[in-house]
Chains A and B, each alone.
Chain A
Amino acid sequence: MNKIFPPALHLIVTYVWLLVAAYTIFFYAPQEATMGEVQRIFYVHVSSAWTAMLAYFFIFLGSVAYLRKRRDAADDFAHGAAEVGFVFCTCVLVTGPLWAKPVWGIWWTWDARLTLTFVLWLLFVAYLMLRSYVINPGRSAVLGAVVGIIGFVDVPVDYMAIRWWRTQHPQPVIAGGSDSGLDPRMWVALFVTWGAFLCLFAYLMRQYLRLASLRREVGMMRRQRGVHVEA
């Protein structure tokens, strides 16, 4: 992988792709009829959301793989997905209100999708906090995997509960469903942006995996030389 597609090349591709995405967002995609320029945040918002959800799924996959095979790589994969996914999920929660204020007139509403995104963000936080607070570093991976699996199974139940809860109290504010009837050029801009984000996600994951394996190597060397290993 490193031979065919070295990280430096990956970085350049990501950078160029992000520039192309910015171009499609601001120049290629047409202006939205009712919301105007501010709607362009949609491409960043939705791409981040999809990437964050994918990252969450990766935590689950990595956790299950780790509990079955006990390979460090599987745990690194889950942990890296959590760190990078957390950034994308934060991006969703930051761009959302920025878009909502001019369009809905409010920063936030406890609508089903918003609430669920916030819960997802809290689950990312819980996972990452746990990973850094475990006393015995050797146990961190297993406990993280347990929490990763429980958190993943929880999402559909959360989704159902929040949906039912919100249909009980309908929200009049939500309007202008942007998913319906997108201009083909908007679709292009959306997928170009999402592609760029996925490329960035993959790049950050690669960097994380490399860092984690280097860290492990250093730990091993220290142990071999009898140097005290810190937590």
Chain B
Amino acid sequence: MHTLNVISAVFMKDLRVEWRHRETLASMCIFGLLVVFLFNFAFEPAREETLRLLPGLIWIAFAFAGVLGFNRSFAAERENAGLEGMRLAPVDPGAIYLGKMLANLFFMGIAEVVVVFATSLWYNFSFFPSLGWFALSTFFCTLGYVGVGTTFGAVAANTRMREVMLPVLQFPVAVPIFIAGVEASTGALKGDPVSDYGYWIKLAAGFGIIFVVLSYLLFEYVLEE
């Protein structure tokens, strides 16, 4: 029970901080939108091509928006010595990780909804026919992405040039998530039967579980001074 209290306290704290200055979420959404916007000049997809390029496009937007969010999530803690405070509290460091992770998951979910909405609008593409499976696969992929991203954000907060350091750590490790995310959303948006791409969702879920558990165990080392 105690652990749950810690998780919800950290989660609510992050939400409250975000609600008061709205920096992280705003930059994540704007950045995601910019990627979608620029893509339009890079490729100018014809109508029939849209479906082939769209999953890749939204996953690139998610990836960059996410990295931005994970960076902010710990940069702010560092500036205000927030991590020192949490370290002093007699609580399980893994619970702090889970709280931060859930907050990042929440922010990333909102940014994803914004990006998907903009994509749907600007590329005249309706997500509704396959929304259920698309949302499910995106949820599991995002979970895995945020699972490692939160840990790496905390690691990168200890470095110079953390804006560069975080993507360098995050992208190679998240390769399975990109592949699974793009393949599963392609399958879902095409309207294929789930049996054709369901293993990608399973892979993403497996990745998420492995890395959330691993991060939970390793987070005490990231926090220590």
Q: Do chains A and B stick together as partners?
A: yes
A interface residue numbers (CB < 8 A to B) = 67, 119, 122-123, 125-126, 129-130, 133-136, 139, 142-143, 145-147, 149-151, 153-154, 157-158, 160-162, 164-165, 168
Check B175 for interface membership: any CB of A closer than 8 A: yes
**Contact A135:B169 (CB < 8 A) given known A142-B224, A160-B203, A162-B179:** no
A150 near B218: Cβ-Cβ < 8 Å: yes
Could you mark each residue 21-62 of chain B with 1 if its beta carbon is under 8 Å from any beta carbon of chain A, else 0?
A: 000000000000000000000000000000000000000000
Taking CB atoms, residues of chain A closer than 8 Å to B172 are 119, 122-123, 126, 151, 154
Check B168 for interface membership: any CB of A closer than 8 A: yes
- Please report the C-alpha to C-alpha distance between residue A206 and residue B161 in the assembled complex, in whole angstroms: 31
Taking CB atoms, residues of chain B closer than 8 Å to A122 are 168, 171-172
- Please report the C-alpha to C-alpha distance between residue A196 and residue B195 in the assembled complex, in whole angstroms: 49
A–B pairs, 6, beta carbons within 8 Å: A126-B168, A130-B169, A143-B155, A151-B173, A154-B172, A158-B175
Could you mark each residue 79-120 of chain B with 1 if its beta carbon is under 8 Å from any beta carbon of chain A, else 0?
A: 000000000000000000000000000000000000000000
- Please report the C-alpha to C-alpha distance between residue A136 and residue B224 in the assembled complex, in whole angstroms: 12
Other A-B contacts than A67-B221, A135-B159, A150-B152, 9 sampled, CB-CB below 8 A, are A119-B172, A126-B173, A133-B161, A142-B222, A147-B152, A150-B215, A153-B211, A160-B203, A165-B179
Taking CB atoms, residues of chain A closer than 8 Å to B214 are 149-150, 153
B203 near A164: Cβ-Cβ < 8 Å: yes
- Please report the C-alpha to C-alpha distance between residue A150 and residue B147 in the assembled complex, in whole angstroms: 11
Overall SS of chain A's interface: helix
B interface residue numbers (CB < 8 A to A) = 148, 151-152, 155, 158-161, 165, 168-169, 171-173, 175-176, 179-180, 183, 199-200, 203, 206-207, 210-211, 214-215, 218, 221-222, 224-225
| B224 nearest in chain A by CB position | A142
B173 near A168: Cβ-Cβ < 8 Å: no
Taking CB atoms, residues of chain A closer than 8 Å to B155 are 130, 143, 146-147
**Contact A161:B179 (CB < 8 A) given known A122-B172, A130-B165, A151-B173:** yes
**Contact A136:B158 (CB < 8 A) given known A129-B165, A146-B221, A150-B148:** yes
- Please report the C-alpha to C-alpha distance between residue A143 and residue B210 in the assembled complex, in whole angstroms: 19
Q: Smallest distance from the beta carbon of A108 to chain B beta carbons, Å?
A: 17
